[in-house]
Amino acid sequence: MGFFDHLQKGGAFSLQAQKPQIRKVVQTRPAPPSSSSSHTPVRSSSQTTPPEKTKRPRDSTVSRDSDHRPSKRLSTPLRNRKRPTPEQRLSSDDDDASDTDTSFELRKRARTEDSAEPDLARRIRSLKAFSEENVKPLPLVHAADITSKQKAGNFKRAFGGADRPTEIFLQYPSASLKERFNLVVPRDNDDFKPIDDIVHVIDTVSENYIPEGEAEFFNNESTGIKRRLRRALAHASETEFREVVADYNHEIERLRRSGAIAKHLDATHRLNLPLVERILTQIYARTVSPRVESLRRYENGTDNVYGELLPRFISTIFKETRLKSGQVFVDLGSGVGNVVLQAALEIGCESWGCEMMANACDLAELQQTEFRARCRLWGIAPGKTHLVRGDFLQEQSIIDVLKRADVVLINNQAFTPQLNNEIINHFLDMKEGCQIVSLKSFVPAGHKIQSRNLYSPINLLKVKQLNYWSNSVSWTDVGGTYFIATKDSSRLKAFADSME
């Protein structure tokens, strides 16, 4: 299962009658923290209330996520798959009887605790993306490239009509040219869903780019763009669907030319997590998903076991470490580059990653190219990204950047003890206050500074233990614990002074 499988809920686009829905609430409990005298259990403020998820009807028109991802998770051999921690789920019927033939779930506005803290020093808007001069095609993978070239035989027409063209164009908030889509649906429900993607893009734009005074055109319960999209799909009407998309395109272009979108972005100092997820999902679906089988070629019992931390968990880490746009983030063992790209997009910081598996590096480079084009398409100025091939213990560029890093992520869940010990030696060169996030603590339980271990690098670390919730990592559905170690020499200095 890929990076964004946690977003995949319900079925694909379908033109079927909606089935009755049942309202159901299940309480959620966090994973219990492990007891350890050397770690201070701390519950993240963003985890006080578990994130709500909406239970979807089986035959929903548009799935929770629109893009192709593998149907099974990539799992490490370290733990058996367990039943997921109970989650709070809530479903409700559509109150508009005229639209209940089919339905799709529109993404709600992100709750404050789901998104990074505002960063007043960050400029969200890309000035180049909103320039109307010399607009050229971006080097991106269009949705139509997947459905008409890469996997043409895997799709069928969504609305019938064999003689009609399926191509349709969608405008994004920037001055960039429109993206090409085909009005088709996948034969396999796990494949890429272009109509879902169109709906989610329109919803995401309306929630994140439109000034409050202009939102009625999109959100009106009777005549808004989102309601009209719902009706077009409920009626299985290609004509209605094309009319709605055309009206949306025209309104977005009007708001961009008037400067309303630019002004709204300039007053924004953080990106909501659903917007971040939408952009990253689009990138992943167009680059990694068609080639995801290559990531299954790992060697059990080595350090090269592939597993991913999912976006909501990563966003929580950013909040816990208070990562800001003027800082430096490093991911040691960065895989296909997901977290590196998320840090650059969500936070706007300088973001580095290092990976030694060749197949993962190849996909990371594809993602990086698509990332730059997609950020331009969405009108966002991300932080600089640097993806390095090789061993992070030996690559000089990584050794150098670790000396000025503010947050270092090490997904050491599957690392061998030998590699974990070798990593510890690099802590000596990190600056004071650098935070090291890991799934296994580098400081043993019960560790105390003593004269016999006075020169151990782990004496420089002050560790706290936190919980992560279910659906946070790719190799299991259950929650667990992670650790944030801060380099703090004061304890070691105090002990050394006491010996004098």
Which residue ranges are tagged as binding site? Answer: 306-309, 329-338, 355, 391-392
Question: Is 352:392 a contact under the CB 8 Å cutoff?
Answer: no
Using CA atoms of 417, 422, 428, 433 in order, give the dihedral in degrees to the nearest 10: -50
Residue type, 331: D
Residue type, 292: V
Which residues are registered as beta bridge partners of 489? Answer: none
Q: Which of 245, 237, 56 is nearest to 169 (CA)?
A: 245
Angle between helices 273-287 and 358-378 (to 10 degrees): 130
Find all residues with CB under 8 Å of 293, minimum gap 6, and list them: 70
Question: Is 298:356 a contact under the CB 8 Å cutoff?
Answer: no
Which residue ranges are tagged as binding site for S-adenosyl-L-methionine? Answer: 306-309, 329-338, 355, 391-392
Q: Which of 460, 454, 462 is nearest to 498 (CA)?
A: 454
Radius of gyration of the chain (CA): 24
Look at the alpha carbons of 329, 331, 332, 336 in this order and tell me if their dihedral is positive or negative.
negative
Angle between helices 238-258 and 225-234 (to 10 degrees): 160
- DSSP code at position 48: S
Token couple for 388: 């390095």
Which residues are registered as beta bridge partners of 301? Answer: none
Give Cα 319 distance to the centre of its chain: 14
Question: Is 6:471 a contact under the CB 8 Å cutoff?
Answer: yes
Coil, strand or helix at 153:
helix
- 90 φ/ψ angles, rounded to the nearest 5 degrees: -140, 130
Find all residues with CB under 8 Å of 251, minimum gap 6, and list them: 217, 218, 225
- DSSP code at position 62: B
